[in-house]
Amino acid sequence: MIYRALPASGHDVSWDVVNPNLSDGGRPLSTVKFRWENEGWTLDCGLGPQRSQVAIRVSAQWGIQQVLLFRDLDDPDLWLATDGSGRWGEVNGAHRTDLDGCHLVAIIGSPITHCIAIRQLPLEVGHGAEIKTAIVDPEKLSVVAGTMRFERIAERRWRYTRISPADSTLQELIEVEVDEFGLVLDEPEQFIRAQADA
């Protein structure tokens, strides 16, 4: 993998939200704070106008382990965990059979979950993969399974499936550039990188 490792001291990234379907008329940010702890990364994500917080736990190899969504309460409104083999469950122990086979999570309101896929997929330039993905809509508190496509078209250029923020459906493929860490810079018509601080 050509991407640099994130610094163990942490890393902060923000995007301006430019899609009117994701905005409340201002210039809200989608933010992510990376923290290294217990042999993996915790990603604390702020979702701009939705004022939701998402905590994503990933392994050192960027495999997703847990997703917690907080809206108005101290306790999570949504808590999902996976065993790494595509089996998902909720905090109460319920097995989410509808998510069986999902190896990625895509959260509407932030490009960060695309970054996780880019970091974990061992794709050479010119290769692609279709990945079953759990799509999380923080506003509706819904999680549905879908299939996303990722293609690596240059060293730091990727093409992947865009998610419609209006109805959580998968749309056309878009192309993005990533930085030295494999994190998306701008996503056409939705996000513009605001800042990235180590």
Residue 108 is assigned to a structural domain of this protein: yes
Q: Is residue 92 part of a domain?
A: yes
| Residue 57: per-residue pLDDT | 96
The 10s digit of each residue's pLDDT in 136-168 is 988 888 899 999 999 999 999 999 988 776 676
- Residue count of the chain: 198
pLDDT at 36: 97
Contact 185, 193 (CB under 8 A): yes
Determine the distance from the C-alpha atom of residue 187 to the mean position of all C-alpha atoms in its chain, rounded to a whole number: 13
Single-letter residue type at 97 = T
Please check whether residue 191 lies inside any domain of the structure: yes
154 domain residue, yes or no? yes
Domain tally for the chain?
1
Kindly tell me if the per-residue pLDDT of 108 is higher than 90.
Answer: no
**pTM of the complete model:** 0.88
Q: What percent of the chain has pLDDT over 90?
A: 63
Within-domain flag for 1: no
pLDDT, one tens digit per residue, over 111-145 is: 998 999 999 998 999 999 999 999 998 888 889 99
Q: Would you say residue 198 has pLDDT above 60?
A: no
Structural domain span for residue 62: 11-197
